[in-house]
Amino acid sequence: MRKGGGKAKGASFERSVCKALSLWVSHNKHEDVFWRSAMSGGRSTVAYAKGKRLAEQAGDITCIHPIGQAFANRFLMECKTYRDLQYYGLLSSKGNLVKFWREACRQAQRYGKLPLMVAKQNQQPATVCLSRDGAKLLRVRPIITAPKLNLRIVLLDEFLKTATKVP
């Protein structure tokens, strides 16, 4: 990958996730329910450091249509695309995926939401990472469970087919 290409790769991945989640939550009627947050959630982080709470801008994805508001109120949505997420690190609670998941959990807790992280490793299918409560709320069946990390992993395609909508 050319120098600086990771930023474009991440932005492209975020856009594709926004579209997929938008179609999912709207029953294939709208592809613009969710969109990328300002500064990929950085606006909220900067405001938080100044004592302000911008929960609607927290995370990589924000809601821009009323259809997705109930979902966005419950979940802080993060996206990660990385050359090697180090899934094997789930065995030792170390590695890139674990680091990203812990940060997503911290951010979600800060705003009283559940973490939802869509992650993609090069040459592998995208996955959805949820807490136990998130997986239970959306009624998804994880393919990987890491109880010590409060992490449940579902393939994104399976999530989009089977997850229930937030009432």
State how far the Cα of 18 lies from the Cα of 61, in Å rounded to an integer. Answer: 7
Residue 102's CB is within 10 A of a number of other CB atoms, namely 15
State how far the Cα of 129 lies from the Cα of 75, in Å rounded to an integer. Answer: 12
> What pLDDT score was predicted for residue 53?
46
> What pLDDT score was predicted for residue 160?
97
Residues of the chain with pLDDT under 50: 39-48, 50, 52-53, 55
pLDDT in tens, 3-12: 555 566 678 9
> What pLDDT score was predicted for residue 37?
84
> What pLDDT score was predicted for residue 129?
98
State how far the Cα of 83 lies from the Cα of 7, in Å rounded to an integer. Answer: 13
> What pLDDT score was predicted for residue 57?
54
> What pLDDT score was predicted for residue 165?
84
State how far the Cα of 84 lies from the Cα of 119, in Å rounded to an integer. Answer: 11
> What pLDDT score was predicted for residue 93?
96
Q: What are the residue ranges spanned by the domains of the chain?
A: 5-162
> What pLDDT score was predicted for residue 34?
96
